[in-house]
Copies of this chain bind each other. A is one copy, B any other.
């Protein structure tokens, strides 16, 4: 077998943008293109956009990719890559894998976006060389992926890893999922902003600083502004961030006791906005998890940032198709 550079195309498809990158088998991004998406145009328009971008990337490239991996924020049928439900895109039962493969003339594998990011962090990020790990991505929402015994867990209907929807406070606030007290309802970006707004409404004088940081507009408050206020020493937001950390420690402890990972990898916008949380969560888990579970544990910050999605999707494509191609040659 001649050693040659194996490359794949990784696609990270969200409700507001699509990112497409050429990624090699070492997880290096060679080129990338990011485009806004207009979900109102429907799947065919997004498919056409991806086809155009892939052609653009391939125009200057010397080697043909082994295939295309796509991460979509939604529920995916693993056998045929059908997007069962993607609320941000407004899609239901879209046979995206088949459609895109026909349009591109390349093999395509479709997976969930967080699952794709887990593949990325596992094989090319903070999870390298480790066979038992959890990626917990704390952004506007909270999602995750689990690698156990060297395999990414998929579950019964390919939805394993909904780690934002573990209950950490059975008397806690309502979550967007319909349940109450989910980790996401206490520590997701949207929940942090909601709690901040509620705190200001409940005590306007204590919330004055935070409100000022948002130009006096309650509805402009985001998790990012909460972190800025906290860092500036504002007592109300420091308390709020403390509660977010408590929720993340409780959730992380649950996951460590249930899954017994060697590494817990923390990523996503909330962690990126407040990276000092990683050490505080690590200390909290070391105090609370069972000895046997916490003893081998490392808590690490994710390493690929927002590249995890395209790198992971491309990596999955290489794992899925490069071997087939080798057999066929």
- CB of B170 within 8 A of CB of A258, answer no
A300 within 8 A of B: no
B contact residues around A290 at 8 Å (CB): 159, 162, 165, 177
Q: How many copies does the complex hold?
A: 2
B contact residues around A297 at 8 Å (CB): 156
Q: For A298, give the chain B residue with the smallest CB separation.
A: B156
Q: Taking the nearest CB of chain B, how far is it from the CB of A20, in angstroms?
A: 26
B contact residues around A132 at 8 Å (CB): 155-156
A255 within 8 A of B: yes
- CB of B254 within 8 A of CB of A159, answer no
- CB of A149 within 8 A of CB of B159, answer no
- CB of A160 within 8 A of CB of B258, answer yes
Per-residue B-contact encoding for A59-99, CB less than 8 Å = 1, 0 else = 00000000000000001000000001100000000000000
- CB of B156 within 8 A of CB of A288, answer no
- CB of B75 within 8 A of CB of A292, answer yes
- CB of A157 within 8 A of CB of B260, answer yes
Cα separation A293 to B166 with both chains bound (whole Å) = 12
A191 within 8 A of B: no
List 10 tightest A-B contacts by C-beta distance, closest first. A155-B260, A156-B262, A166-B254, A160-B260, A165-B257, A167-B250, A170-B250, A162-B257, A159-B292, A132-B156
User: Could you list 29 A-B pairs, sorted by A, with CB under 8 Å?
Assistant: A85-B292, A148-B160, A149-B151, A149-B153, A151-B151, A155-B260, A155-B261, A155-B293, A156-B262, A157-B260, A157-B295, A159-B290, A159-B292, A160-B259, A160-B260, A161-B258, A162-B257, A162-B293, A163-B257, A165-B253, A165-B258, A166-B166, A167-B254, A168-B168, A168-B170, A170-B246, A171-B171, A178-B288, A179-B288
